[in-house]
């Protein structure tokens, strides 16, 4: 089960005129009976919502006052998430006779047109307060407090992630809540802007829209509906035509296969980085210590001692932790059995929390071999969100290979890699377009969509970007890739073998030489062909096209463009970003 929580607004979503009808209540009961958590997220003050919604016990948590108050119905525990309104503000609001006034633990609410008076008071007193609108309502809260921050605290208490949450609302104050959820829904009666930003608008209004969403949650866990959501897609790189290639980070398995030194680890690290940056929790099974320097993760296990099951699960209990399970300290023959012992524990954690969202299994042919433990097919059945990395695709247990949605073939013989994979799953091999690939490239085959395999230029990870920038900023390019200041008559032969030297030589050459290369667009051409930095190329082109610039002005602009991208300081030492 992927969606373990539903965050729902009250007024205008669950309720009409403050009341939830019986059909909607029955749908909420079905949701809770399915094992999912209902989190009510409302702008109302807590006493109001407790009075008008007697079925509050259906909720695992209540976020009230637009994110400022958290309530646990089972224990009646109240947690304040924002400071109370300043006394001077309350005094002035009452002195200026603001009507329709509601004062909560943290919120002060009124209605249009009193927002102008409220703004005047905030300005006159110099207060750090924010106005939030919800149709005709005007809510005043501390900066940084909204439905998303309150929902995040509720999910943290429940050890759940926004990536396992669907949210539904109708008003302006629901934008933040919907943005932070994995699947964002606006009911049919929602304000137009919310409909535009939501992943979907229901056919029914109010409670009927909620029922529509709950039915899909219970029946198929939104497996069909989420396919159309584009905002979570993860970058893979660029295709042959320069277009961006992405994949949807849900219910898919990836296989990275190829010869040693082909760039599998670089591709895997880049995928992990981008998934981690989006807040998906990661667990890396690392038999050979290749990921011990992964910067976002807690590494458990050393070269001397293997990791413990309890410490792995304790670390993963926090949704913000990524974990690398380093198996180097275990004897080689014990690593597969340790993984198969850990796997049911990870599956149990996933069933309760939906996490870890993604697992990477390095050296899959060793941990899950074709002639390995007979329990493997059962343990791996129906698992998704796994990146398998291997040198030998055909040495992996067949049921695992059949579960793969996207295959990446890298290295010296990608066509042979695809052929071996297809032979193992008893499928005809597709035609591959490359006989041999340089590092940084892969043949990608989306089996689930039936697309023809094509060449992928892999998006670099942080380590590769730093290495790239250092190479071009202060490394030594070969003579054929260096830039040469020759001048209009070829009287010079000054070689710049990196960007730092290019800046230094460019500032020292005579004006005729500088402008000759500038007007010939030699600078942007070199950057395009050698540095391969499109953003820098565009900026340099813009300078080259401005004929009114003096030589000194163009030198300064190009130097600044390079420094902005490669942070080359005046002292000469290059610092990569």
Give the whole-angstrom CA distance, residue 390 versus residue 288.
12
Burial class (CB in 10 A: 0-12, 13-18, 19+), 85: buried
Residue 521 confidence (pLDDT): 95
Beta-bridged to residue 176, according to DSSP, are: none
Residue 466 confidence (pLDDT): 62
Dihedrals phi, psi of 435, to nearest 5 degrees: -80, -35
Give the whole-angstrom CA distance, residue 342 versus residue 231.
33
Give the whole-angstrom CA distance, residue 255 versus residue 480.
37
Note the helical H segments in 372-413.
376-380, 398-402
Count how many residues are written for the chain. Answer: 577
DSSP 406-449: EEEEESS-HHHHHHHHHHHTT-PPPP-S-SS--TTEEEEEETTT
Residue 472 confidence (pLDDT): 80
Residue 375 confidence (pLDDT): 76
Residues of the chain with CATH 3.40.50.300: 234-459
| In contact, 207 and 23? CB cutoff 8 Å | yes
Mean per-residue pLDDT pooled into runs of 10, the chain (577 residues): 96 96 98 98 96 97 96 97 92 90 90 90 89 87 93 96 96 95 97 95 97 97 91 90 89 92 86 93 94 87 92 94 95 94 94 95 93 77 91 92 94 89 89 73 87 87 64 83 93 92 93 95 92 85 92 93 69 36
| In contact, 344 and 319? CB cutoff 8 Å | no
Dihedrals phi, psi of 289, to nearest 5 degrees: 75, 25
Angle at 23 between CA 19 and CA 29, to 5 degrees: 95
Neighbour count for residue 90 (Cβ, 10 Å): 15
State the CATH class of domain 83-144: alpha beta
| In contact, 448 and 273? CB cutoff 8 Å | no
Residues of the chain with CATH 3.90.1070.10: 83-144
Residue 568 confidence (pLDDT): 45
Q: Which residue has the tokens 């080259």?
A: 544
CATH of domain 234-459: 3.40.50.300
Residue 531 confidence (pLDDT): 84
State the CATH class of domain 5-77+146-228: alpha beta
């Amino acid at each position: 089960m992927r969606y373990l929580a539903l965050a729902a607004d009250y007024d205008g979503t669950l309720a009409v005129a403050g009341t939830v009808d019986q059909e909607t209540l029955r749908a909420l009961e079905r949701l809770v009976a399915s094992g999912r958590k209902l989190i009510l997220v409302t702008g109302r003050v807590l006493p109001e919502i407790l009075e008008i919604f007697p079925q509050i016990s259906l909720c695992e948590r209540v976020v009230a006052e637009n994110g400022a108050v958290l309530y646990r119905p089972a224990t009646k525990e109240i947690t304040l998430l924002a400071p109370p309104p300043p006394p001077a503000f309350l005094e002035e609001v009452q002195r200026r006779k603001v009507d329709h006034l509601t004062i909560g633990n943290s919120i002060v609410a009124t209605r249009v047109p009193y927002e102008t008076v409220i703004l005047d008071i905030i300005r006159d007193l110099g207060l750090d307060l924010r106005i939030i609108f919800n149709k005709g309502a005007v809510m005043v809260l501390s900066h940084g407090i909204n439905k998303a921050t309150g929902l995040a605290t509720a999910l943290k208490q429940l050890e759940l992630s926004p990536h396992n949450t669907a949210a539904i609302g109708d008003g302006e104050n629901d934008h933040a809540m919907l943005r932070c959820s994995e699947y964002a829904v606006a009911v049919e009666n929602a304000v137009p802007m919310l409909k535009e930003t939501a992943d979907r608008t229901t056919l029914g209004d109010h409670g009927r829209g909620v029922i529509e969403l709950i039915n899909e949650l219970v029946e198929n866990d939104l497996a069909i509906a989420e396919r159309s959501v584009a905002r979570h897609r993860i970058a893979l790189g660029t295709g042959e035509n320069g277009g961006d290639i992405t994949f949807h980070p849900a219910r898919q398995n990836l296989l990275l296969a190829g010869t040693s030194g082909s760039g599998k680890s670089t591709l895997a690290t880049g995928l992990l980085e981008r998934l981690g940056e989006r807040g998906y929790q990661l667990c890396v099974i690392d038999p050979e210590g290749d990921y011990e320097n992964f910067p976002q993760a807690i590494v458990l296990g050393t070269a001397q001692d293997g990791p413990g099951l309890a410490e792995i699960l304790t670390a993963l209990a926090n949704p913000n932790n990524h974990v690398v399970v380093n198996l180097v300290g275990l004897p080689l023959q014990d690593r597969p059995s340790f993984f198969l012992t850990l796997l049911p524990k990870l599956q149990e954690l996933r069933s309760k929390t939906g996490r870890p969202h993604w697992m990477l299994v390095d050296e899959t042919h060793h941990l899950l071999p074709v002639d390995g433990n007979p329990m493997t097919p059962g343990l791996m059945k129906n698992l998704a969100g796994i990146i398998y990395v291997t040198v030998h695709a055909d040495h992996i247990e067949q049921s695992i290979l059949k579960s793969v949605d996207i295959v990446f073939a890298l290295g010296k013989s990608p066509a042979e890699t695809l052929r071996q994979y297809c032979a193992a799953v008893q499928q005809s091999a597709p035609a591959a377009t490359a006989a041999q690939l340089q590092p940084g490239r892969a043949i990608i085959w989306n089996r689930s969509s039936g697309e023809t395999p094509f060449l992928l230029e892999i998006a670099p990870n942080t380590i590769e970007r730093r290495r790239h920038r250092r190479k071009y900023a202060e490394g030594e390019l070969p003579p054929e890739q260096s830039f040469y200041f020759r001048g209009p008559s070829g009287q010079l032969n000054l070689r710049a073998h990196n960007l730092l030297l290019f800046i230094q030589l460019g500032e020292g050459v005579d004006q005729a030489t500088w402008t000759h290369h500038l007007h010939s667009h030699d600078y942007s051409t070199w950057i395009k062909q050698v540095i391969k930095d499109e953003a820098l190329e565009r900026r340099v082109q813009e300078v080259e096209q401005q004929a009114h610039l003096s030589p000194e002005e163009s030198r300064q602009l190009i130097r600044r463009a390079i420094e902005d991208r490669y942070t080359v300081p005046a002292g000469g030492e290059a610092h990569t970003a």
